[in-house]
Structure 1
Amino acid sequence: MSVFTKIIKGEIPSYKIAENDSFYAFLDIFPLVKGHTLIVPKVEIDKFFDVTDDLLGEWLLFAKPIAQSIERNFPCNRVGISVVGLEVPHAHMHLIPINTADDMNFARPKLKMTEEEFKAVQQQIIAGLER
């Protein structure tokens, strides 16, 4: 069972942004920038392109309002999408507010945020979904 499946099941706490029957979105706890969000399918599939065609389409539709909320709430030119998939054997998508391509460089140092900062970011994104 992957760490993401444990998060989805509530066995590991997370800063949940949204979920439906197929997907779970939550803040990355090692963010590149504030607003960095992960979206994972609830079905545990290792590689992104092993996901069914239907699920791939649903994934982008699920991600769209989250990305729009991130873009409205955090200073950026756009929200980038990254699918690296090396750290956890469970397909996942990163939504990252970016101003340059280097903002998506995973070799960069990660932000160190307090629980209060994570909760504030979580609430900003959720509030943006409710508009």
Structure 2
Amino acid sequence: MPSVFTHIINGDLPGRFVWKDGTAVAFMTIEPVTPGHVLVVPRKEIDHWEQIDTPTFTHVSGVAQKIGRAVKAAYDAPRMGLLIAGLEVPHLHLHVFPAHSLESFDLTKADHDASPESLDEAAEKIRASLRALGYGENVPDTA
């Protein structure tokens, strides 16, 4: 059965995409731990991160690094967080977010009521930052 992320990737469910390529996508999480929290997801449906083939994991990690650079610049973040939790959705995803303290790494403290407007604004801010860093070819104009 396809994961919720597969439905988002396929356009069956809405997503605020900031990156799309043939191997991976990145979109805003609807429950951010900090503003600017992005999920980087391989198009392949793989549940456990240690089971992904190395070339795909290398690509997904590289996308996460580019997203991290853009989010750090867009939010003037002191540090960037990167987490692979894998408990929420059975489809590998890397959490990339501005980290202001160790509390930023606690997914149980995520904002469960983030407004659609704040998520739209964050997505556009990150898209603009990705373009400014020269990654525009993989940045969609909108979701």
Moved more, 119-128 or 70-79: 70-79
- Determine if contact 1:32/1:111 at 8 Å carries over to the other structure: no
Contact kept, 8 Å, 1:83 with 1:94, in 2: the verdict is yes
Amino acid across the alignment from 2:86? G
Q: Whole-Å Cα distance in 1 between the matches of residues 108 and 27 of structure 2?
A: 21
Q: How many angstroms does 1:125 deviate by?
A: 0.2
Using the TM superposition, give the Cα deviation of residue 111 of structure 1 relative to its aligned residue in structure 2, in angstroms. 5.3
Gaps of 5+ in 2: 133-143
Q: Which residue of 2 is the match for residue 82 of structure 1?
A: 83
What percent identity do the matched residue pairs reach? Answer: 28
After superposition, the C-alpha distances for 1:20-77 in whole angstroms (9 at most, x for unaligned) are: 0000100000111100000110000110111101111111211222111100111421
C-alpha distance in 2 between matches for 1:3 and 1:107:
20
Aligned to 1:116: 117
* SS of residue matched to 1:91: coil
1:113: how far off?
Answer: 2.4
1:72 is the counterpart of 2:73: yes
CA distance in 1, matches of 2:122, 2:73: 12
Does structure 1 residue 45 correspond to structure 2 residue 46?
yes
Matched-pair contact (CA < 8 Å) for 2:45–2:92:
yes
Q: 1:95 maps to what in 2?
A: 96
Deviation beyond 6 Å, 4+ runs, structure 1: none
Tell me the residue number matched to 1:2.
3
Distance 1:109 1:81, change over 3 A: closer
1:102 partner amino acid: E
Task: Judge conservation of contact 1:21–1:42 (CA < 8 Å) in 2.
Answer: yes
Root-mean-square deviation (CA, aligned residues, Å) is 1.1
- Report the Cα offset of residue 109 of structure 1: 4.4
The alpha-carbon distance between structure 1 residues 109 and 90, as it changes in their structure 2 partners (threshold 3 A), is closer
Following the alignment from structure 2 to structure 1, what is the Cα–Cα distance between the partners of residues 69 and 54? 23
What SS does the corresponding residue of 1:130 show, helix, strand or coil?
helix
Count of residues in Structure 1 that have an aligned counterpart in Structure 2: 131
Distance (whole Å) between structure 2 residues aligned to residue 109 and residue 53 of structure 1: 30
Q: CA contact under 8 A between 1:44 and 1:90: conserved in structure 2?
A: yes
Q: Output the TM-score relative to the length of structure 1.
A: 0.95
